[in-house]
Structure 1
Amino acid sequence: MPDSPATKKLTGHTAPVYVVEYLKTKPQLLSGSFDNTLRLWDTDTLKPLATLGGHTDLVLTVAIAPDDKTIASGSQDKTIQLWALPDAPPEDPNAPLKPTGELKGHASQIYSVAFSPDGKTLASASADKTVRLWDIATLKEIRALPEQGGPVYSVAFSPDGQTLLTGGGDKTVRLYNVADGKELRQFPGAEDAVYTVAYHPDGKTIAAAGLDKVVRTWNVDSGEPATVYSGARGDIYRVQYNSNGSQLLAVTYAANLAIWNTADGKLHYQTDLPGRTTYGAAWSPNAQQIAIAAEDGNVYLLDLPKPA
Structure 2
Amino acid sequence: MSFTRTATYAPQPATERGRPVHLGGDPKGNNFLYTNGRSVIIRNLANPEIAKEYTQHTAQATVARYSPSGFYIASADIQGNVRIWDTINAENIIKTETRVFAGKVNDLAWDFESKRIIAVGEGKDRFGHAFLFDTASSVGEIAGHSKAVNSVDIRPGRPLRAITGSDDTSVNFYHGVPFKFNKSLNEHSRFVQCVRYSPSGEHFVSAGADGKLFLYDGKEGTKIADLSTVEGAHKGGIYSVSWSPDGKNLLSASADMTTKIWDIAAQKVVSTWEYSSTPSFDDQQVGCLWQGDHTISLSLAGDISYLNRSSGGFARTVRGHSKGITALAVKKDQTLYTGSYDGRVCSWKEAKGVAAVPSGAPHTNSVMGLAVAKGKVYSAGMDDTVRSIAVEGDNTVFGSAALSTGALPRSIAASPDTEIAVTVTVAPQVIIVKDGQRVAEVKLDYVPVSVAVAPNGKEIAIGGEDTKVHIFALEGSMKEKAVLEFNRGQVTAVAYSPDGTMLAAGDSQSKIVVYDTASHQVKLHQWVFHSGRITSISWSSDSKHAVSGSLDTNVEVWSVDKPMKHIAIKNAHLEGVSGAVFVGETSGGKSRLATAGADGFVKLWDVVHHQ
Instruction: Give TM-score, length-normalised by structure 2.
Output: 0.39
Partner of 2:425: 168
Q: Give 1:269's match in structure 2, choosing from 513, 520, 524.
A: 524
1:62 maps onto 2:344 in alignment: no
Paired residues, what number? 250
User: Residue 404 of structure 2: SS of its match in structure 1?
Assistant: coil
Partner of 2:196: none
Structure 1's consecutive aligned runs of 4 or more residues displaced over 6 angstroms after TM superposition are none
Partner of 1:186: 441
Partner of 2:458: 204
Which deviations, in whole Å up to 9, do the C-alpha atoms of 1:207-246 show, x marking residues without a partner? 1113222111111122121111111121111111111111
Higher normalized contact order (CA 8 Å, seq sep 6+, divided by chain length): 1
**Match for 1:217: what amino acid?**
I
Q: CA deviation at 1:44?
A: 5.5
Q: Give 1:177's match in structure 2, choosing from 422, 425, 434.
A: 434
- C-alpha distance 158-299 of structure 1, shift in aligned 2 (>3 A): closer
Matched ranges for 1:265-304 at <5 A: 265-271=520-526, 272-304=528-560
- C-alpha distance 62-130 of structure 1, shift in aligned 2 (>3 A): same
Q: CA deviation at 1:73?
A: 0.2
Alpha-carbon distance in 2 for matches of 1:229, 1:130 = 29
Alpha-carbon distance in 2 for matches of 1:168, 1:287 = 29
Contact 1:190-1:212 at 8 Å conserved across structures = no
- C-alpha distance 208-144 of structure 1, shift in aligned 2 (>3 A): farther
Q: Give 1:241's match in structure 2, choosing from 484, 496, 518.
A: 496
% identical aligned pairs: 22
In structure 1, runs of 5+ residues without a counterpart are 1-42, 88-96
Q: Give 2:390's match in structure 1, choosing from 135, 140, 144.
A: 135
User: Residue 355 of structure 2: SS of its match in structure 1?
Assistant: coil
Which deviations, in whole Å up to 9, do the C-alpha atoms of 1:21-50 show, x marking residues without a partner? xxxxxxxxxxxxxxxxxxxxxx86443433
Alpha-carbon distance in 2 for matches of 1:223, 1:64 = 27
1:260 maps onto 2:515 in alignment: yes
Alpha-carbon distance in 2 for matches of 1:224, 1:216 = 10
In structure 2, runs of 5+ residues without a counterpart are 12-319, 564-611
Alpha-carbon distance in 1 for matches of 2:399, 2:358 = 15
Matched ranges for 1:54-133 at <5 A: 54-68=320-334, 70-86=335-351, 97-102=353-358, 104-118=361-375, 121-133=376-388
Contact 1:175-1:185 at 8 Å conserved across structures = yes
Contact 2:513-2:525 at 8 Å conserved across structures = yes
**Match for 1:80: what amino acid?**
V
Alpha-carbon distance in 2 for matches of 1:67, 1:115 = 11
Instruction: Give TM-score, length-normalised by structure 1.
Output: 0.74
Alpha-carbon distance in 2 for matches of 1:130, 1:295 = 26
Alpha-carbon distance in 2 for matches of 1:225, 1:274 = 30
Alpha-carbon distance in 2 for matches of 1:277, 1:157 = 23
Contact 1:157-1:163 at 8 Å conserved across structures = yes
Q: CA deviation at 1:172?
A: 0.9
Alpha-carbon distance in 1 for matches of 2:329, 2:416 = 15
Q: Give 2:413's match in structure 1, choosing from 156, 171, 182.
A: 156
Q: CA deviation at 1:147?
A: 2.0
